[in-house]
Amino acid sequence: MVTNVTEVEENKMNIHLIEQLNNFVKVQDNIWESGWWNIDESKAKKLVGGEIYFHKKQQEPSFYGGTITGYRIEQDGQYQGRVVFTLQHSVACRNVKTDKHGWSKKMKIIIDD
């Protein structure tokens, strides 16, 4: 089941992720899935509508990204319970840097006021 959120949250949340394996699946033109992230579903829901940025390393600019349009929870197999984001690719999400503060494991969530 894919969850799409149409209500806009008061504060937009964006996420930066370390993605070294290029786990992207093309769903349709300009729509991709990126998955098996270890993130709470409550946070995943709040990220819908925000931007997602993929980095090879924390201090390198993003190499890919876009707007999160939804997510689903993997139901079976090795990655059961993990979040898979659906995103619409955006060139504006390439070459974006973020400072070294705020990273936890392989992700960093930013809340825009």
The pLDDT tens digits along the chain (113 residues) read 555 544 444 578 999 999 998 889 999 999 999 999 999 999 999 999 999 999 999 999 999 999 999 999 999 999 999 999 999 999 999 999 998 889 987 889 888 75
Extract the tokens encoding 42: 């409550």
Give the model's pLDDT for residue 12.
Answer: 83
Whole-angstrom distance, CA of residue 107 vs CA of residue 71: 16
Give the model's pLDDT for residue 11.
Answer: 72
Direct distance between the N- and C-terminal alpha carbons of the chain, in angstroms, rounded to an integer: 30
What is the value of pTM for the model shown?
A: 0.86
Domains of the chain, residue spans: 8-99
The set of residues, in sequence order, having a beta carbon less than 8 Å from that of 35 and lying 6+ positions away, is: 23, 25, 74, 79, 82, 83, 84, 85
Give the model's pLDDT for residue 25.
Answer: 92
